[in-house]
Chains A and B, each alone.
Chain A
Amino acid sequence: MTETACVLALDHVALTLPSTAGPVEILRGVSLSVAPGEQVAILGPSGSGKSSLISVAAGLERPTAGTVRLFGQDLAALDEDGRARLRRGRAALVFQAFHLLPNMTAEENVAAPLEIAGRADAAAVARAWLARVGLGHRGGHYPHQLSGGEQQRTALARALAVRPGLLFADEPTGNLDDANAAEVTRLMFDLLAETGAALVMVTHDAGLAARADRRLTMQGGRLEAA
């Protein structure tokens, strides 16, 4: 598969961050290709660099070395606003801490990326997606009025409402109890199958990782086959 055919291609990516005790190497020569619709799970212990990999791959952070291509576009050629535009409507993120916007209702949270992308039907689409995740009746509630499971379902609706080509998920069930984790997992994979989006997911949960097409392990900033 050529790099341009991949939704995501990382080539020898390194990330080193400064600290008072000296530079810390977070990612060391990571290479990864993700095909359209492919689901990749990355396992690894805390501090191994999993979340940083998502951050760099999604263009939230610039790597110290190496190349990141998202939908065939070299991220090094884009400034921060350019990377935001590239993500807009094509790549989405789900976080362990949900990261819903606290001053917006559930419906407004789901509508936000659609509005940013200039979609006139943002509100209607948001309502539909909330209904898809079983929260049609909670659209007017603020994040602090929702349970953890409901918040993560809202975050999932927000991520998928734009029908992205690639979903980045950072420990999507990490903050949930077993029942809610199972529900969110079911929803996520059902909706991915429906939308055909690719997935890059980091997790501690081997059971969750097992549902992916491909599993990799992160160890000391390096990516290895599981």
Chain B
Amino acid sequence: MTLALRFAGRELRAGVRGFRVFLACVALGVTAIAAAGSTAEAFRQGLAAQSREILGGDLAVTLQGRAFTGAEQAAFRRLGRTTDTYRVRAMAQAPSGARRLVEVRGVDGAYPLAGTVTVKGAAGLQGAFAGAGAAVEQVLLDRLGLKIGDPLLIGDARFVVRAVLDQEPDRLAGGFALGPRVLIDHAQMERAGLAASDSLFTQTVRIALPIGADASAVGQSLQKVFPSAGFRVRDRNDAAAGLRRLIDQLEYFLGFIGLAALLAGGLGVNGAVSSYLESRKPSIAVLKALGAEGPLIRDMFLIRIAGLSALGVALGLAAGAATPFVLGWLFRDSITIPALFAVYPAPLAKAAVFGALAAAAFSLLPLARARATPPSSLFRRDLVGRLHPGPEAVFAVLAGLGLATVSVVTAPNTGVAAGMIAAVAFAYGLLWSLGQGATALAARMRRFTRGAVRMGLANLAGPASAARTVSPSIGLGVALLAVVLLLQSTLLAEVREAAPNTAPALILTQVRSGQAAALDQAVAQVVGPLDPSRYRRMPMATGRITGIAGAAVRPAAVAPEGRWAFDQDIGLTVLDAAPADADVVEGRWWPAGYAGPPLVMLDQRIAEAAKLNPGDAVTLSILGREVEARISGLRRTEPGRFGTGFSLVVSPSALAGADLGQVALIKADKAQAAALGRVLAARFPTVTVIDVRDQLEAAGKLLDQLSTGIRGAAAVVALAGLLVLAGAAAATAERRTRDVAILKVLGATRGQALVASVVEYGAVGLIAAATGVLLGSAAAYPVVRYAFHFDWRFDWSVITVLLPLTATLTAAGGALAALPALLQRPAPVLRGD
């Protein structure tokens, strides 16, 4: 090994010439993985460091639809200092009559237990609450044309804007908000009737435990003391759990893109090593003639390539570690999630492992060829040694398997990760086979062509054809871009075209049962006769399944895709006869007028996640009641569509006697919606109006922003493809220069030589793009149909953009590759031979 080291050291004198693409390919993939991991870790650490502030205490106990009892409140107070908050959605109205859905929080004097609330225009929160005051977000002032000191109606209670709400420490733990936030005094909230039993309010008590107390254990003991209270207990360790899950998934997705970039760039790595070793063939043969054995040859080049891999990995790690700092600085004003930017070793180590394994997987086989180089190639350069399966092949396969294994075991969802890895491996294999096929086809087709096109096809069919190396790399990049573009266009189409037709225009909540008849009448006056296809009103409450067959539900035992229905309260309704959109897939709906023991219709996906079937007994906790019910049937629901899309429907007997709030769904055009808004403001100020068009528009904007970032990430893979293209061009530059010189001697013009190159690379680009779009569509289809449950619609603009763009870019790459050869005069080139 000492001798190999010494010889490898001498080889290093050649510098990184011929290895720039190698370095770039390794560094690019490692950068993407390290950047995704480091950024995610910065957010995770930021969330962990501020978990107490984010939760607003050490423990948060939340209840929907009813207030905590005196006994419960007393139990909380025994644990430590407490603060009590209400949260409800309501309509805020300016003196001008302008209205907006807002998220109202009523907080007591002890709020916040951790962190600080920042307000502008008043001396602290208590100053903002003085004289029925409210602290509101600036966006609400902008939307309603308000300023500090103006009056504001919330529901039918009058408040005065006293301050602008800048920051709440526990905002992130509150989850998704449909409107701007308004902070008011707890007592004022009760005075305004915003926390009445028929409003969909949420009450949360936050508890500051004594120092050293185990928050998780205290939380569990609370659940044991009140087993049927139906409240949700979170401790500071799972503050913003949803956000953390999102960060984990985003990290994996972006890391996966980095891995795909490593695979796409892998052929660049392989090509660079192969062409380097090809250029060293005379030296290898000389060393063998001088008595060097195969393993010495392999080891000396292995050391060089390992050194260069380490350099590529180091460059990638440096760039990846720096990325969070750069992003944090660039978006310092818009990042609302706490982040602790630092150099984190764990994500960098993971990225380094990926980089090293990818470099090994793609460069060991060329080393085997170097080991087998016959010394007689000194006399006949094109001789290739007999390649027996050796340790290089074994380690290359092991490195590939290691890459897949590490990727799967570090994923949040191993099944999905394994599927993604398998899909990429399949795509890679298919693209490689098509590249081989293209060379064979070009060989057959060239006899039907002439001139420059024939030369181009001959190059495509030749031993240095770009089709073999470039098409898998570019194809993989195009496939990923196609997936992202197709998902984006489907989601946008759903939000902008399908949803406005299928979803209601307005959703009215907080409708008290006594208002129902008057509301029906008011709506009819604006939108015309009340047809069930345009107007639906039904009772609505929140509740959850707390028991199955007499035993308490363990959300952890429920499959992840349906767990959401068991670890929090979900919306439910009470219906008598089966509605037109019942869509029962198993069991049956109860008959009209049914008054027997409580029955429930359950969404099929939720039932599957918890392995529930018709006939099974479940315990429901609704409005503080324990309801023992039996599953009557399973149905397919489509949340967001106009209709009875509740995951949980109970028979009237289950909630007999309860005074439930109502929800109304209305289909209306823009003018009707505006007119309805005015009527509701005047006659039903406490009814909450959710303008679905507003929400869809906001969702569309969010989607646009997200997809810009994700498109950018996917473009990293396309960039890896272009690097491979550059590498392939560089590897064949010498041969190309000689070919062009000979062609010129034979009378070919520079134009003809240029066309030949454009034909060769353009064809490669076209094959890669077509296959990439096909593979991208195949990958996007199941996601759209079975994960999003949307209709599949193919966006033809993906083809019209990606196909010509890729072909043009690769053809341009070919033209650029040919340029130095075209500029050379033939005599010096041929003399050099």
Q: Does B289 sit at the interface, judged by CB under 8 A?
A: yes
| Complex Cα–Cα for A93 and B283 (A) | 14
- Judge whether B13 and A101 touch: CB under 8 Å: no
Scan B613-648; emit 1 where CB is below 8 A from any A CB, else 0.
000000000000000000000000000000000000
B253-307 interface with A by 8 A CB criterion? 282-283, 285-296
Q: Does B557 sit at the interface, judged by CB under 8 A?
A: no
- Judge whether B3 and A115 touch: CB under 8 Å: yes
- Judge whether A55 and B283 touch: CB under 8 Å: no
Q: Does A121 sit at the interface, judged by CB under 8 A?
A: no
- Judge whether A80 and B294 touch: CB under 8 Å: yes
Given contacts A80-B374, A88-B291, contact A103 B3 (CB under 8 A): no
Q: How large is the interface on A (under 10, 10 to 19, 20 to 34, 35 or more residues)?
A: 20 to 34
Given contacts A102-B283, A103-B11, A108-B10, contact A113 B374 (CB under 8 A): no
- Name 30 interchain pairs, CB-CB below 8 A, sorted by A: A17-B380, A55-B376, A61-B374, A61-B379, A80-B288, A80-B294, A80-B374, A81-B294, A81-B295, A84-B292, A84-B375, A87-B290, A89-B291, A93-B289, A99-B285, A99-B289, A100-B286, A101-B10, A101-B286, A103-B10, A103-B283, A104-B10, A108-B10, A112-B7, A115-B3, A115-B6, A116-B292, A116-B296, A117-B291, A158-B290
| Residues of A contacting B7 in the complex (Cβ-Cβ under 8 angstroms) | 112
- Judge whether A101 and B378 touch: CB under 8 Å: no
- Judge whether B3 and A116 touch: CB under 8 Å: yes
| Residues of B contacting A52 in the complex (Cβ-Cβ under 8 angstroms) | 379
Q: Does B14 sit at the interface, judged by CB under 8 A?
A: yes
| Complex Cα–Cα for A52 and B379 (A) | 8
**Number of B residues whose C-beta is below 8 Å from A?**
27
Partner of A101, one of B6, B287, B376, B380: B287
B526-554 interface with A by 8 A CB criterion? none
| Residues of B contacting A80 in the complex (Cβ-Cβ under 8 angstroms) | 288, 294, 374-375
| Residues of A contacting B283 in the complex (Cβ-Cβ under 8 angstroms) | 101-103
| Complex Cα–Cα for A100 and B286 (A) | 8
Given contacts A101-B283, A103-B11, A103-B13, contact A112 B376 (CB under 8 A): no
| Complex Cα–Cα for A99 and B11 (A) | 16
A73-87 interface with B by 8 A CB criterion? 80-81, 84-85, 87
| Residues of A contacting B379 in the complex (Cβ-Cβ under 8 angstroms) | 51-52, 55, 60-61
| Residues of A contacting B291 in the complex (Cβ-Cβ under 8 angstroms) | 84-85, 87-89, 113, 116-117
A103-131 interface with B by 8 A CB criterion? 103-104, 108, 112-113, 115-117
Shortest beta-carbon distance from A172 to chain B in Å: 14
| Complex Cα–Cα for A31 and B531 (A) | 107
Q: Does A71 sit at the interface, judged by CB under 8 A?
A: no
B556-579 interface with A by 8 A CB criterion? none
- Judge whether B293 and A84 touch: CB under 8 Å: yes
| Complex Cα–Cα for A113 and B290 (A) | 5
| Residues of B contacting A115 in the complex (Cβ-Cβ under 8 angstroms) | 3, 6
Q: Does A58 sit at the interface, judged by CB under 8 A?
A: yes
| Residues of B contacting A89 in the complex (Cβ-Cβ under 8 angstroms) | 291
| Residues of A contacting B13 in the complex (Cβ-Cβ under 8 angstroms) | 103
| Residues of B contacting A108 in the complex (Cβ-Cβ under 8 angstroms) | 10
| Complex Cα–Cα for A116 and B300 (A) | 12
Which of chain A's residues has its CB closest to B294's CB?
A: A81
Which of chain A's residues has its CB closest to B386's CB?
A: A80
Shortest beta-carbon distance from A17 to chain B in Å: 8
B291-326 interface with A by 8 A CB criterion? 291-296
Which of chain A's residues has its CB closest to B2's CB?
A: A115
